[in-house]
Amino acid sequence: MKSNIIKYIFILFVICIIGFATYKIYYKEETTEGNVQSNVIETDNQVITNMRIGIAKFDNINPIISQNKDVINLSTILYEPLIALTEDYKLELRLAKEWSKVNEKAYIITLKSGLKWEDGTPITGKDIQFTVEKLKAGKSIYSANVQNISSIEIIDGQTVKINLQKEEDFFEYNLVFPIISNKQFVAEKDFYKSRIAPMASGMYKVKAATSDTMELIQNDNWYQNTQTKIQNIYINFYSTMGDVYNSFKIGKIDMICTSNVKIADYIGTIGYTSKDYKGRQLDFIAINCKDTILQNKEVRQAIEYAIDKKKIISSVYHNEYYLSSFPIDYGNYLYNQESKSTYNISKAKKVLEDAGWVYKYGRWQKTENYTTRTLRVSLVVDNSNKERVEVAKLIEQQLEDVGIGVSLYQVSNSNYKSYLKEKDFDMILTGINNGYSPDLSYFLGKDNLANYENEQIQSILQEIKEITDENVLKEKYKQIIQIYENEVPYICLYRDKKKAVYSMKLIGEFTPNNYTSYYHMSKWYRQ
């Protein structure tokens, strides 16, 4: 009897376990099914329709006012310019239907028809005029773009005439600044203190904002009327870039653009894709082409052959800079060859020998008109720029190694500026932040830094002012490059590296450059 009771209890216990297991399995299947349905609704067949961005030290969403590089980058999908730039720095018409150069100091800009702000009101020539006036009056990052504009005449609602104070080569490249609404801001007493988000004319518009966040949504009145997969962009504001890096690392934001080439130290090396691209900061040596010795192109060629750029980049910049060969090798379509090292000690020696120099007592010498000269040059560097000082020391050693004597002058910043202004040097190590245009007048035009004169180049520089055909322009620049490489008025050394990193869950074609990181964004999505 007792054994039967135990048996019944055991059977009942087994039945309870089976029932409980059945319930749990059923409940799990039902819950899982519900979650799958929820995910399908949220992600649209595994395509998540939102994206997260982080901005450190946010100041103002108005791109005319903001000094924040991430805001300026983001503004390219919010506020359209008259003309934009492609991935290889070609001009691309946006709000402008066409532009034409009337004469040396005047341009006509015609807007596309049917352009609207996000609220449906038309974009007109008054908006162009208003934007330029605000840029000229303030300290916007775009203010330099318009300082040569003397006035803007409104010809009709869709056409304006831009008058310049003086001729400016490739002035049209300045028209990449975003246009803002005259009607929206005309009543603002202090425009540069305004916190109002400008009405959008681009792919997205501001939906909502707090002190810590902002949400962007698609702009239904965008003239391109392209349906994007990313419907919402959520922006988080952070105090420091360190906070941005941490948020990316834990998956709270999907994209970072930075000039910090050591970003892997902060976010690790896995879980993302990265794209490196050439920055606009170029360091180079200007060679005084009127100097008694350096006016000989063979000497300039030998100096270039003797400099090991790769070693400099490795030793001073830990291979985090790009080797440079020409002033517009930052990705401009007019320089379509790869920058390369010209380091070759044998060639350095041979070009000097062929030019009549003799290597004697550890130095190159040349006798002309009964006078013997020793090949020695000076190199000026700003002593406040420690990295450039290290570069200058390496160059000094490299030239000494092939028998070219160098006197290295490490001068104060004020004296350094004086050397530049007066062009009172043999060689000077300096740098420049390239503009977007392919203008070479700073390097090769009249009164250039290297005192370089070449009639053929001057003729070509005059010709290209009037050339609009892309193929013809490429051919002209090819001629300039060939002359430049032979004459060596400058030795381009290296340029900075920029980086964009994207979460592995962000899918799309990523081709960032200095103008924007948002090319092809209409096809981006998140998984």
Q: What is the pLDDT of residues 137-181, one digit of tens each?
A: 989 999 999 999 999 999 999 999 999 999 999 999 999 999 999
| Domain extents in the chain | 48-76+202-271+507-527, 79-191, 279-498
Give the pLDDT of residue 45. Answer: 55
Q: Dump pLDDT digits (tens) for 377-435.
A: 999 999 999 999 999 999 999 999 999 999 999 999 999 999 999 999 999 999 999 99
Q: Is 270 exposed, middle or buried (0-12, 13-18, 19+ CB in 10 A)?
A: exposed
Query: What backbone phi and psi angles, to 5 degrees, belong to 29?
Result: -60, -40
Confidence at residue 261, expressed as pLDDT on a 0 to 100 scale: 83
User: Would you say 178 and 146 are in contact if contact means Cβ atoms under 8 Å apart?
Assistant: no
User: What pLDDT was estimated at residue 370?
Assistant: 86
For residue 145, count CB atoms less than 10 angstroms from its CB and return exposed for 0-12, middle for 13-18, buried for 19 or more: buried
What does the pLDDT read at residue 225?
82
Residue 159, beta-bridge partner list:
110, 156
Query: pTM for this structure?
Result: 0.88
What's the confidence (pLDDT) of residue 41? 31
Strand 376-382 to strand 427-433: parallel, antiparallel, or no bridges (unpaired)?
parallel
Nearest one of 460, 452, 459, 453 to 477, comparing CA atoms: 460
405 CB contacts (<8 Å, ≥6 apart)? 363, 374, 375, 376, 377, 399
Distance CA 242, CA 246 (A): 6
Question: Which architecture, in CATH terms, is 48-76+202-271+507-527?
Answer: 3-Layer(aba) Sandwich (3.40)
Mean pLDDT by 10 residues, the chain (527 residues): 47 47 39 30 67 98 97 98 98 97 96 97 98 95 97 96 97 98 93 96 97 97 92 98 97 95 92 95 98 97 98 96 98 95 97 97 92 96 98 98 98 98 97 96 97 97 94 97 98 97 96 97 95
- Partnered with residue 256 across adjacent β-strands are 501
Please report, in angstroms and rounded to a whole number, the separation of the first and last CA atoms in the chain.
64
Helix segments in 359-448, DSSP class H = 386-401, 413-422, 441-444
Contact assessment for residue 200 and residue 185, using Cβ atoms and an 8 Å cutoff:
no
- Torsion 416-422-425-429 (CA) sign: positive
CATH C-level class of 79-191: alpha beta
Nearest CA-CA partner of 50 in 254, 231, 250, 213: 231
Q: What is the pLDDT of residues 294-329, one digit of tens each?
A: 999 999 999 999 999 999 999 999 999 999 999 999
Across 239-338, the runs of DSSP E, i.e. the strands, are: 255-258, 272-287, 322-323
Residue 299 host element (H or E)? helix 297-306
Q: Which residue has the tokens 């090292």?
A: 341
Give the DSSP per-residue string, 30-97.
HHHHHHHHHHHHHHTTT-B-EEEEEEET---S-TTT---HHHHHHGGGTS-BSEEE-TTS-EEESSEE
Tell which CATH classification among 3.10.105.10, 1.20.1250.20, 1.10.30.50, 3.30.70.60 matches the domain 279-498.
Answer: 3.10.105.10
